[in-house]
Structure 1
Amino acid sequence: MRKHRRTTSPLRKRNPALVLTFAAAALLATATPAAAAPSDTAEDCTSAKTLCLYEGANFTGDRFTVSALDAGTCVSLVDHGWGGRVNSAVNTHTASAALFANDDCTGGPYQVPGNGSVADLGTFEPLSVWVAA
């Protein structure tokens, strides 16, 4: 019986420097900061014809951005998990947007002026929003 010499495939060879590089990259990709600053500010809302809704007053916290494609539209904030979460808003559209306490854009609206903002909605808790196209 003949013995074959064992060869090492190029795929099985491991370069120690390469292994360390991949390990360092993996650590950096999964690292998270110990403390985070507010995720968004009013300056982050720069897309044309959008309404940026913020979880915190003064445009802080998580942001939900709404815009209409071809005609004015009512958007349910409840359906998107944002019912009652909005505390400030920035409107980059020239037309006013309207926040509603009902889920179907009915009732008295809370206006967010065109090219304007509201830094604190106070006790108003919107469940839907109407935006222009």
Structure 2
Amino acid sequence: MFEGRVRRAAVAVLVVAGTMLAGVAPASAKAKNDCRNDICMWEDANYVGDRYVDEPMIAGCREIPGWNGDNEISSVWNRSGRLIYLYSEDNCQGRAYAVGSGAELASLSDFNDDAESYLVT
């Protein structure tokens, strides 16, 4: 009887912990049409997978958020009227990749999984 209560309590703790962890996931899978802001970036090509960036156009350097977001970007939609640059290092350092105003890049073939930060000009 005691073992059964301990087992049920352990399962309850695991369920609660799993629910809490699920609530702090770095991003969730969202379709291209769900992009609500000026700049959106996805984990996978063709605007699928986790969307790590969905930000308004604010000039300056930005880090790609999330514990797993940087070095994961494979597609970008620049809905802003500004040029942005993706950078291979934090703080807008390293190799740069230009994404023009209004560009819809379903695949970053030459810069796939390299972006760690971006600059809005």
CA distance in 2, matches of 1:96, 1:68: 10
Letter in 2 for 1:80: G
* 1:94 equivalent in alignment to 2:84: no
Which protein has the bigger strand share? 2
TM-score, length-scaled by structure 2: 0.64
Question: Aligned partners of 1:68 and 1:80: how far apart in 2?
Answer: 19
- Equivalent residues, number: 91
The alpha carbon displacement at 1:121 in A equals 1.1
| CA displacement at 1:54 relative to structure 2 | 0.3
- For residues 55-74 of structure 1, the aligned pairs below 5 Å read 55-63=43-51, 64-69=53-58, 72-74=59-61
Offset at residue 112 of structure 1 (A): 1.3
**2:66 pairs with 80, 100, 105, which one?**
80
Q: 1:103 corresponds to which residue?
A: 90
Percent of aligned pairs sharing the same letter: 26
Q: Is the 8 A contact 2:85 2:97 kept in 1?
A: yes
Normalising by structure 1, we get a TM-score of: 0.59
1:109 Cα deviation (Å)?
1.8
Select 1:42's aligned residue among 32, 49, 72. 32
Structure 2's unaligned 5+ residue stretches are 1-27
1:53 aligns to 2:41 (yes or no): yes
- Give structure 1 regions of 4+ aligned residues with deviation exceeding 4 angstroms: none
CA RMSD of aligned residues (A): 2.3
Larger radius of gyration: 1
Unaligned 5+ runs, structure 1: 1-37
The structure where helix makes up a greater share of residues is 2
